[in-house]
Structure 1
Amino acid sequence: MNLIIILLYGVTNLVTSQSNDIFPARILAHQKTISENSDLYLTCSTFGKKSMEVYVYLCKEEIGFDKKVQKQDLHDTTFIIQRVNRHDSGNYSCVYSLKNDLTNQATTRGLNIIEILVIANFLPGDISVVGASTVNEGDYVEFRCTLSVTLQTIRECQLIHSYLWRNDSILQVQTFNVSKMEATFTIQGAAMRDSGHYSCVVLPSTCIKKHEEIYGNNAVILEVEGSLFFRVLISAGVISLIVSLGLGFCLGLWWINKQGSASASCNLSAQIQQADSNMWEIQQEQQAEADNMETQDDESFSTEEEEEQQHYQNGIVAEEADILDPEEYEDLYSVADEGPLRLDLYSTSIKLNKCQPY
C-alpha cells in the first residue's frame, strides 16, 4: 500500500514539474539546530538530474524565496542565511528550473525536506520570591525562575545556564533544570545593598553576546530592612574602630613625643656638658690670669715695700743727720745752759752723736 502511495506521489510531482518546468532537488544542511545570530548554510544538489545550466531555488514551506544560477558542470549550490533569528526556523527544500521567475511562487516539494530549528540565545523567565518580598538584614532569600514557553536546546541539553539580574547587572548564574523547567537563586544573609529589582533569563544556547540587552518577563522588588541587632552590631563595630583608631593615634603621638623628648634630652645633656666644659676652660683661664696678676702684684708690692722701707731708712738717716747738724747742736747746747732740762737734752744729743758713724 505504501509503495503505491509513493509511486502515485512521484507521478504527480513529475506531471506537475513537467507542466511547470520545475524539478525536485536534494537539500543538505551542515546542522539542523543552530543558535540565534549564527549563519545557516544549506546546500541544494542536482547531482544526476540535469546536464545544462539551470536556476536552483531554496524553498521554505514549499515557497521559493532565494535562487542562484548553477553552471552546467556544477551540481551543488550553497545558500547562506546570515544571522538567523527564531523566525528562520521551519521546513526547507530545493528545486531547480529553466525559468527565472519562480521566486515567491508556490512550487513543488524537493526530493527531501529538512527541519531547521533556531535556538534563542536567551528566553525571558518568570521570577518569584519564595516567601515575603520584604525581609530583614541577615535573612535568607530564595528566588525561583521558571519558563512558560516551549524550550528547545542545542543538542537536547538537560541543564543550561540561567541568570539572575539585579537592576541592570548580572548577580548570579545558576543551572536551569530543563526537565523541571526551573532554577533557584538564593541570597544568604541579606544586606541593605541587596534591595532592588530582580529578574531572570534562561540561556538555551551556549553563550550570550556582549552588550546584548536581555530582560525577563517580569521583575520583583526586594526590600531589605535593617534589623536592630545588626544596627547595634554595626554601631558597636564602628565605635570599636573609632576607639582603636584614636588609641592608635594617641600611642603614635606618645611614641613620637617620647622619641622627640629623648632626642631633646640628649641634645640638652650634650649642650650642658659642652657648656660645663667651656665654663671649666674659662675658669681655668681666669684662674691662670688671676695667678699671674697675683704674682705681679706680689712682686710690685715687694718692690714698693722695699722702696718704702728704703725711703723710710733714708728718712731716718736724714732726720738723724738733721738732728746732728752743728747749727742745731749749737742751738741745743745753748738751750741746755738754761737749766737741768736742757742738760738732759744735751746728754741725749751727745749719745746720739756717739752712735752716728763718721
Structure 2
Amino acid sequence: TASILVKYEDANSEHKKIYPAKIFGPSNVAEGVKVHLKCSTTGIRGHQDNVNVYLCKNGVGIRIAALDNSEDETIFTMKDVTKEDSGNYSCVYIRDKLLPDQVNSTGDYLVFQVYGDGDLEGHQDNVNVYLCENGVGIRIAALDNSEDDTIFIMKNVTKEDSGNYSCVYSRDKLLPSQLKSTGENLVVFKVDGEWKEIYPAKIFGPSNVAEGVKVYFKCSTTGIRGHQDNVNVYLCKNGVGIRIAALDNSEDVTIFTMKDVTKEDSGNYSCVYSRDKLLPRQLTSTGENLVVFKVDGEWKEIYPAKIFGPSNVTEGVKVHFKCSTTGIRRHQDNVNVYLCKNGVGIRIAALDNSEDDTIFIMKDVTKEDSGNYSCVYSRDKLLPSELKSTGENLVVFKVDVEWKEGLKNVGARVAAALVLLFLMLSVLLLLWRYWGILKQ
C-alpha cells in the first residue's frame, strides 16, 4: 500500500469546499488484474455530515462514492487494468455532490503503473525492491518470499545525494532508472555540515473552526518510531516548524494548543520529529499527513445528536425531550447541547465530559409548540437562535387541543351515566322498601 498527502485547492464556490483524503493502493501491477484503491478520511474529518469521496487521476475526478457519517473509508475497484490506467491517483472529499470531472485537486499522489505480468500482493513470489531518489529508482535489491526488509548503504555521501528518498517493490525486474514512483512515505534527506535527521509523524486536528476558539493539534509517533531515545516533536505550518515539544522515550503523543485563533492561522499543518533539537524555524519539512486548517469568522463545528420524545400530546401537559450523544461523540471535552425546532435552536444545556444525555422540559404546551424537533451539540457556545441545524433524527411533535376536549366530553358522559345509574338504584331501593311494607 502507499499513503499520500493531498494539498488543499480552493473550490469554485464557498459552498463546495474540497478537502484532502488519504489513498492506499499498489504502485505497480500487471495488465488484466483487479486493483483496489482505498480512500480514507480516518483522523481527517469529523462525522457531522455525509460526504462524497472522489477518486482523482492526474488531478481530475474520475469516480465518486457516498460516505455516510459513520464511515471513514471507501474502496474503488478497477477491473482488468491496462496501461492506459497508469497515472497519478489521489483522493478528496466534499459535502456537496459534484460531477467527478468538476473536481480538480492536486498535491502528492499515488504513482500507479500498469505493466508486465502478475501482481504485487503477498509473499508468493520473490520481488525486487528499489530505492528511489526524487521519484526515480537509483538502486535495486532482490527480496525472496521469506523476507520483508532490505538495507541500502550509501558511503561517503555528499551534498549531491540530498533529496526525497522512498522505496517501492515489484515482481518484475527493471533497470532502476526506468522506475518512476514514490513509496508509502518519504525521507527528506539532506547532506550538509549542519544536517539533522528529521522523521515524519502523524497529525490529528480540526479542519475548520471559528475565529477566537482554542484549537488542539495532536502529533503522534505511535507505530512509527522505536522508543530508544527521547525526541523533539515539531508542529509545522506550510512546511516550516513553528512549535517544539519534548517527548521522552515512554511517550508517543504530544498536543499543541493554539488559543484565540485568527484567519492568519489558516494553513497546511503537519508534524515531524527528530532526536536533535533545532530552532523550529530552522526546520523545513512535512509530516506523514497534513491537516488543511481553515479559520473562518462565521463557522462553528455542529454535530448531530439523537432525540427522544412523544409525538402527540394534548394542550397544557408537561413534555420531556431527551437529547443524547451516546455512541456519537468522544468524551474529551465539555459540550453544549441544543434543542432545535424546525432547524433553529430554541434551548441550550451544558453537558460535561462524563455525561451523554440531557433533558429539556416544556411546560403547559400549546398548539404553537407543534413542529419538527431535533438535537445537535457543539464545543462552542452560541445563542440558540444563531444555530441553524438538524440532528441525527427528528421527532414530529403535535399538540392537539381537540384530543383534550374529546377526553373532557368522554368524562362528562361517564359522569352523567353514573348519576343516572345512581338515580335508578335509588328508585329501585325505594320500590323494594315500599313492597316490603305492603306485604306486612
Q: TM-score range by the shorter chain?
A: 0.3 to 0.5
The TM-score with structure 2 as length reference comes to 0.27
Larger radius of gyration: 1
Which one has a larger percent strand, Structure 1 or Structure 2? 2
